[in-house]
Structure 1
Amino acid sequence: MTTLRLRPEEPADTGAVRRVLAAAFARPDVAVPPEVRLVDELRGGDAWIPELAMVAEYGGEVVSYALLTRVVVSSAEASVPALVLGPVAVAPHRQRIGLGASVVQAALDAATELGERLVVVLGDPAYYRRFGFTRADQLGLTSPWSGLGEPWQALVLPPTVSGEQPAPRGEVVFPPPWSKV
């Protein structure tokens, strides 16, 4: 029986993660997909949270990846930390068996355990709705991708302690590597 193991990325996984990203986002017009470069540039930077870089190991092979990194929601009142989900990738030979959903849910669960309150994503609304994401503009969040409408989404995570503040509203500010995607 093949086992699925969900866990944070370890330093030894860097090559396997790059291979999964490269295969999942392969395009004939680029040697290295932007998603590979994005993760390389985020890794170890200020936005990187090691516990929130999740891999799915299936049969001992890293086959899926989901990354949550730090962003800031900025408003006239305050700057509040939040997270961005992406990239999410599944090796092509292991797609359509739920590994992407498993690794995304593991990352979201880990973020909740760490007391995080808000996650944004740019992606397919039909896919991300299953995790509870809704239109980010309806939550008062803007970004360079706000004009895309439905794909610009957010998820308010459940509070881990009572008396939590409401989810922040304002402009989501991404770390510099995101400007290249």
Structure 2
Amino acid sequence: MDLREEQTRDRDRVGALHREAFGGEHGEVVARLVDDLRHDDPTALSLVAEESGEEAGGLVGHVMFSRCRLDAPRRLVDVVSLSPLGVAPRRQRRGIGSALVRHALQELDVRGVPLVFLEGDPRYYSRLGFSPAVQQGFRKPSLRIPDAAFQVVKLSAYEPWMTGTFVYPDTFWRHDCVGLRDPDTEN
């Protein structure tokens, strides 16, 4: 498997991968989110996993890390959010997502990013170094995010004064990709 930065030629395949990985309407929302994040944040780190060797030819994973802010008491801090991470269903549970995230965290550390936030399953992401952000003094951008799902990893540029409220850019709000909606409530 080859891990590399996404190229323009990969975009349609990345969209198809997220539609398949997330399924249904949610897969379409995630694919549109990725398209808009590419446009709104040209500095986003977008990595793909591509099969090599006998299985060559297909993209089997994608992860994106885009610019966000931390509203710290001292000043705004540039941070990133891991969203989305998708792996082709036929290739899940084989370490592809983990490999993408680990590779990206190394690159983000080299780039001087101090903090990486996400919303996700703590059982999965804790294996990759993420831990509950609320327990470390960070505030969620929405009450719809469960405390356990709001996670952070501190990289080497992190300094102890960097606490405060995590702030998503407008792109996540436009696509309603922050927190969980109550399925029992009407629009």
Confirm or deny that 1:148 pairs with 2:167.
no
Structure possessing the higher relative contact order (Cα contacts under 8 Å, 6 or more residues apart): 1
Corresponding pairs, count: 170
Q: Is the 8 A contact 2:81 2:117 kept in 1?
A: yes
Change in CA separation of 1:167 and 1:151 when aligned onto 2, cut-off 3 Å:
farther
Runs in 1 of length 4+ with deviation above 4 angstroms?
A: none
How far apart are residue 44 of structure 1 and its match?
A: 2.4
Give the unaligned 5+ runs of structure 1: none
Q: Is the 8 A contact 2:74 2:161 kept in 1?
A: no
Give, in whole Å, the separation in 2 of the partners of 1:122 and 1:48.
22
Which residue of 1 is the match for residue 39 of structure 2? 44
Which residue of 2 is the match for residue 87 of structure 1? 84
Aligned partner letter, 1:175? P
Query: What is the TM-score normalised by the length of structure 1?
Result: 0.87
Summarize the alignment of residues 22-171 of structure 1 with structure 2, pairs less than 5 Å apart: 22-27=19-24, 30=25, 33-45=28-40, 47-50=41-44, 52-58=45-51, 59-145=56-142, 147-159=145-157, 165-166=159-160, 168-171=162-165
- What is the DSSP-based 3-state SS (H/G/I as helix, E as strand, rest coil) of the residue aligned with 2:148? coil
Give, in whole Å, the separation in 2 of the partners of 1:125 and 1:21.
21
Q: Is the 8 A contact 1:125 1:151 kept in 2?
A: yes
- What is the DSSP-based 3-state SS (H/G/I as helix, E as strand, rest coil) of the residue aligned with 1:172? strand
Determine what percentage of the aligned residue pairs are the same residue.
Answer: 32
Aligned partner letter, 2:33? L
- What is the aligned counterpart of 2:17 among 20, 29, 35? 20
Stretch moving more, 71-80 or 148-157:
71-80
Q: Is the 8 A contact 1:72 1:172 kept in 2?
A: yes
Aligned partner letter, 1:166? P
Which residue of 1 is the match for residue 183 of structure 2? none
Give, in whole Å, the separation in 2 of the partners of 1:131 and 1:48.
26
Which residue of 2 is the match for residue 178 of structure 1? 172
